[in-house]
Amino acid sequence: MSSTDSTAASAPPRASRLTPRAAFLAVLMTALMLYLAVPLRGYFQQRARLDHIATETRVLEQQNTLLLRQIAKLHDPSYLELLARQCLGMVRPGEISFIVVPKGGQAQPATC
């Protein structure tokens, strides 16, 4: 063992002390963290809202596509005739319409 090892081992550990410069830096860093906390919270809230709005937009675009398809179907005369026959019970002139009534009660309306 060398003499430097024995003196380093026998020397008491140096107590850490807080210098005024370190205290100032600690206070400054704490103040900066508190100052940035509010804008960061607002940023994350706005990001969450933006994600929610993007999801809602996708859902509304899908619904819009379905409604446009339904509009296109309603412009088709054969589809309109099918709806009139099934839902409204309409018939062409000269045709006879029959309604089947169940044994125990009333006829069920069409599900349109």
DSSP labels for the chain? --HHHHHHHHSPPPPP---HHHHHHHHHHHHHHHHHHHHHHHHHHHHHHHHHHHHHHHHHHHHHHHHHHHHHHHT-HHHHHHHHHHHH----TT-----PPPTTSPPPPP--
Output the DSSP codes for 87-99.
Answer: HH----TT-----
Tell me the average pLDDT across 49-55.
98
pLDDT at 39 over 60: yes
What is the pTM for the complete model shown?
A: 0.53
Tell me the average pLDDT across 34-48.
91
pLDDT at 94 over 90: yes
Higher pLDDT among residues 68 and 40, named by residue:
68
Q: Is 89 left (phi over 0), alpha (psi -120 to 50) or beta?
A: left
pLDDT at 14 over 90: no
Report yes or no: 110 and 87 within 8 Å, Cβ to Cβ: yes
Q: What is the pLDDT of residue 2?
A: 54
Q: How confident is the model at residue 35 (pLDDT cuts 50, 70, 90)?
A: confident
